[in-house]
Amino acid sequence: MTRTNLGPWIVTYAALAAMAAYNLAPFLWMLTSSFKTDMEVTQIPATILPHSFTADAYVRIFAQEGFLKYFLNSAKVSGATAILSATVGIFAAYGFSRFEFRGRTVLIAAFLASQMLPGVLLVGPYFRLLSTAGLYDTHLGLILAQTSITLPFTVWMLKGYIDTIPVEIEQAAMIDGASRLQCLWYCILPNILPGLVATMVFAFLLAWGDLLWALCLITDPDKQTMTLGITNLVGQFRVLWSDVMAATVIGCTIPACFYLLLQRYLVQGSAGSAVKG
Amino acid sequence: MRGETTTPYWFVAPAAIMLVVILGFPAVTAILESAGLGGKTGFPDFRAYGRLFTDPQFGATALNTVIFVGVVVTMHVVIGMAIALLLNLEMPGRWLFRVIAILPWTMPDVIGGLIFRFIFDTLSGGVNAVLLRTGLMAQPYDWLGHPHWSLFAVIMAEVWRGYPYVMLILLAGLQAVPRDQYEAAAIDGAGRIRTFVSITLPNLRTVLIIAVVLDIVWETRLFGMIYGMTGGGPGYATQNLSLFVYKNYFQFFETTYASSIAVVLAAVLLAAAMPYLRLTLRRQD
Amino acid sequence: MWTNFRHLGLAAAVTGLLAGAAPARAEDITLTYSDWQLAQTVWGRSLQEAFTEFQAENPGIKIRTEPVPLAQRDVRFTTAIRAGRGPDVFALDANPVRQYVAEGWVRDLTSYIAKEGPEYLKDFYPKTLEPVTVGGKTWGIPKNTVAMVMVYNERLYKQAGIAAPPATWEEFREVAAKLTGKDRWAFTLVLAPAGFDLRVSSVFRSFGADFLTPDWKHSAVNTPEMRKAFNYVLDMIASGVVPPGVAQVDANGARRLLANEQIAMAIDSTWTLPEVSDMNPKLDGWNVLKMAPIPVPAGTNPKVRTTLYEKSLFINKNTPHPDAAWKLIKFMTDDKRMRKWFDDNAMLSTRISVNQGYDKIAKADYANLVAGQIAEGDFLPLIPEWPEIQETFRQNLQAAVAGTKTRDQALTDAHTAIEAILARNPSK
């Protein structure tokens, strides 16, 4: 009995191992490069493992280049974007999903259409807006910008997830006297937890990896995000490759930790079986 | 329900207001700029649109964009679906694989491009180092200098970086597939593929369409990876429309032309996406 | 008495302007200065020291520095200035200056210069004033300038038995062959965007070719000189004296190759010495690296044989403190600071008196050589369309290198495209 059941598991783990190798390959390169000296990183022929192992790059980025501040700034902006975008988004998604109203199609098409223009064109006029509102060079301005970029995507995504919840649950709740808001909080939210996680991760990562908006909207070096900090390492006369690699490695690990905490909610909800019973 | 005529608007209002205020003004400005308004003269000037037809770079760049988006999104869906299915299974150590699965997506925009350029570097890059060491190649190859291999490299890099997006959307969608449907299929003796086609796919339909459409929009706008990796080169073999807009706007200061390219791009995308979006808007029963 | 009135007036004006700013004395003006070199270790420290001195000499003015990555500099500046903001004082290299002036983003400095007296501008090389002078008015002050030269590794030369750097491109061929070996090449070109402008144009110019006609109204890409230069460069790549993957090499990559002793020579300038020496201390760069003029074809003597680099300072049109900004610019380009830029960063100045009079420059061979080459070099065409023209040419050159176009096709396409770009904006 055990032998016949083991086959599929071996295949599964083998496939997952292949995925892990595929995903991790560039990171391995980055990791090994971050522990090399600047000279060895660009050496010809290239070495794979560091010949002279050094953690100088990591020391430098925190001690000299001030990356702790940049990581904190990025975390603050990205976290706020994730929360704000998901919050505003879920209200709109609920509205689009559960109601037929005039202008529904036009509005939701407009939502998506706003994303089809490249950010390059939107930065300038948005900057003007921020400047008038006195939000220039503030984290709040950047958060608002990132939120509005992610919003159409979060609304669309959340709407898709809310659509999968049968309406009957809320109808039953409303017969019992629940308001729409209570429906949203008690009936919908618990059942779209996986979708909410996916949406928040999306919004977080989008803000985390952004360069263009942070570049234009933030000039105070103390408020810089991690992406700006890394780009500053590419100078006019040389590139500090091991520092770039070290900062990027850490820059990718932080969101991964964030995801680690959230991924436990990516599990089967109870909505599927609740209705039929 | 009765008495709920204004309720939907309350729900939708915060997002709509944010978008109108924050993106609406810039979007309209951009469109106006593309028609030459807001410039020196007060009259609309559609010459920029005319230039689109005569500029050989525009045609080649548009073709690159189509190829790039087509291949990348397809691979994203294929790989994303496969991995989502795997990560949906209950198994020990799943959390570790789930976290690894998301890692490529954490690479930032332009910086990811720089790092991949380094990885594909002819003499000191990882790709050639591994190929040479394992004996698969005798001489280092100039991946990013070749017009077709550079496009291949850029596509591969973006496939790697972006597939977790689709994977995550699908994984979340998979959680909502009713378990009793799977149980019923198992009782009926359906095989894995049959179950996938008849149970999983139909339940994922909406989410899948949304994932594909959003990914297409996302990949069309993307230019950071390409900018960092090749800058559009060699020649303009890897240049896509988004990068073309960027160059025209910030390097050549041709803001009107850049805006017109962007507006055409947005219009084409919207026209192509609308029928599919309509599908997701139909009321579920 | 007048001083008191002035202080009162200044205090009132500034208090109004600074509503909501960080706590400061009422008379303090904060100037923002943005420069891509602020993020670099040595240059950044050098600039900060200068600012500390400035603030000590001008107690009412505070300087806030805003580093910006070089590749994204124009993105940030143009977005901010278009929206009515931006740093009060900023630096630019020569490439986008005409664009900034044409768009009206920098302040006209003519009146400030007039107040300094007629001798003020005479100390600057006339050539260095060309990029910042439009319509008879001066829009910026040039700070540093260098000419492109051939930097070579004397130790590798001696190892290969080469006595002197090649003076002609024909000699170059022989020298390069001797210097190429296993995992080592003679030379590299810079075909990636970052650094292409200075390094490839200087090679073409040494052949007597150029991108545009001297009046900048037409393309000069179809001249026999350009054809000869183009073919020479492509032959060079094909012959293997440059590393494979040369189309991806940018200026930073070239310096890396030089530092790792993977190439024996490169086209660069005075900054190579401090930078490369720092990248690889074992190289002993200050003693091993030497400079020579870029070779020319035998028997020719082109009038313009190299390209000049320039970094200049500008005042933002939108600034609320133009007077303070002018003080800062004057300070950063005065005699004492020019000497400091050379001491700290091996950067030559745009002031004739400093380049010729400062003993440290006179004693340094490389500095002497580069300063001498300034007279034999020129800037890239000073027109707003230049960035687009350059990018077109670079793309066609890369296409020829990659083999997607034949050499003739690439040149013809470049010529046609450049003519089309120039025809778009005929008014000059």
Which chain C residue is nearest to residue A232, measuring alpha carbons? Answer: C69
Would residue C389 count as lying in a domain? yes
The answer to whether residues C123 and C266 belong to one domain is no
Identity (one letter) of the amino acid at C186? A
Which pLDDT does position B86 carry in this prediction? 92
Mean per-residue pLDDT for C210-216?
93
Which pLDDT does position A274 carry in this prediction? 39
Would residue B2 count as lying in a domain? no
Q: How many folded domains does chain C comprise?
A: 2
Q: How many folded domains does chain B comprise?
A: 1
Contact C69 A38 (CB under 8 A): no
Structure token digits, residue C248? 């991806």
Would residue C335 count as lying in a domain? yes
Would residue B44 count as lying in a domain? no
Asked if residue C1 has pLDDT above 80, the reply is: no
Whether the CB of A50 is below 8 Å from some CB of chain B: the reply is: no
The answer to whether residues C64 and C189 belong to one domain is no
SS3 of C290, please?
Answer: strand
Cα-Cα end-to-end distance for chain A: 34
Contact C40 A43 (CB under 8 A): no
Would residue B22 count as lying in a domain? no
The answer to whether residues C141 and C196 belong to one domain is no
How near does any CA of chain A get to the CA of B235, in Å?
22
β-bridge partners, B243: none
Whether the CB of A9 is below 8 Å from some CB of chain B: the reply is: yes
How near does any CA of chain A get to the CA of B204, in Å?
9
Task: Identify the chains in contact with C, defined as 3+ C-beta pairs within 8 A.
Answer: A, B
Determine the structural domain holding residue C362 and report its residue range.
23-145+309-378
The answer to whether residues C187 and C272 belong to one domain is yes
β-bridge partners, C187: C265
For residue B230, the chain C residues in CB contact (below 8 A) are: 248
How near does any CA of chain C get to the CA of A124, in Å?
5
Whether the CB of A138 is below 8 Å from some CB of chain B: the reply is: no
Dist. CA B265–CA B221, nearest whole Å: 9
Contact C78 B253 (CB under 8 A): yes
Nearest residue, CB atoms, A95 vs list B11, B123, B169: B11
For residue A128, the chain C residues in CB contact (below 8 A) are: 82-84
The answer to whether residues C208 and C107 belong to one domain is no
Asked if residue B1 has pLDDT above 60, the reply is: no
Whether the CB of A198 is below 8 Å from some CB of chain B: the reply is: yes
The answer to whether residues C263 and C169 belong to one domain is yes
Would residue B43 count as lying in a domain? no
The answer to whether residues C165 and C90 belong to one domain is no
Would residue C266 count as lying in a domain? yes
Dist. CA C293–CA C302, nearest whole Å: 13
The answer to whether residues C138 and C226 belong to one domain is no
Structure token digits, residue A254? 């932080």
- Residues within 8 A of A (CB atoms), B 139-198 only: 160, 165, 168-169, 171-173, 175-181
Between β-strands C89-93 and C133-134, what pairing exists: parallel, antiparallel or unpaired?
Answer: unpaired
How near does any CA of chain B get to the CA of A57, in Å?
16
Would residue C7 count as lying in a domain? no
For residue A245, the chain B residues in CB contact (below 8 A) are: 115
Q: Which position has the token pair 């041709």?
A: B254
Would residue C155 count as lying in a domain? yes
Dist. CA C144–CA C151, nearest whole Å: 19
Dist. CA C199–CA C219, nearest whole Å: 19
Determine the structural domain holding residue B222 and report its residue range.
59-281
- Look up the CATH number of the domain holding residue B203: 1.10.3720.10
For residue C387, the chain B residues in CB contact (below 8 A) are: 251-253
Which pLDDT does position C183 carry in this prediction? 86
| Count of beta carbons in the 10 Å neighbourhood of residue C198 | 25
The answer to whether residues C131 and C108 belong to one domain is yes
- Look up the CATH number of the domain holding residue C419: 3.40.190.10
Q: Which position has the token pair 């560091």?
A: A50
**What is the pTM (predicted TM-score) of this model?**
0.90
Contact B123 A16 (CB under 8 A): no
Would residue C89 count as lying in a domain? yes
Nearest residue, CB atoms, B247 vs list C246, C247, C391: C391
Sign of CA dihedral B67, B71, B72, B77: positive
The answer to whether residues C228 and C135 belong to one domain is no
Q: What is the pLDDT along chain A (277 residues), one digit of tens a residue?
A: 445 578 888 999 999 999 999 999 999 999 999 999 888 888 887 888 888 899 999 999 998 888 999 999 999 999 999 999 999 999 999 998 888 888 888 888 888 887 888 888 888 888 888 888 888 899 999 999 999 889 988 998 899 899 888 888 888 888 888 888 888 888 888 888 999 999 999 999 999 999 999 999 999 999 999 999 999 998 888 888 999 999 999 999 999 998 998 888 888 765 443 333 3
Dist. CA A19–CA C109, nearest whole Å: 61
The answer to whether residues C404 and C344 belong to one domain is no
The answer to whether residues C124 and C180 belong to one domain is no
Contact C83 A128 (CB under 8 A): yes
Can you list the domains of chain A with their CATH numbers?
72-276 (1.10.3720.10)
Which chain A residue is nearest to residue B109, measuring alpha carbons? Answer: A209
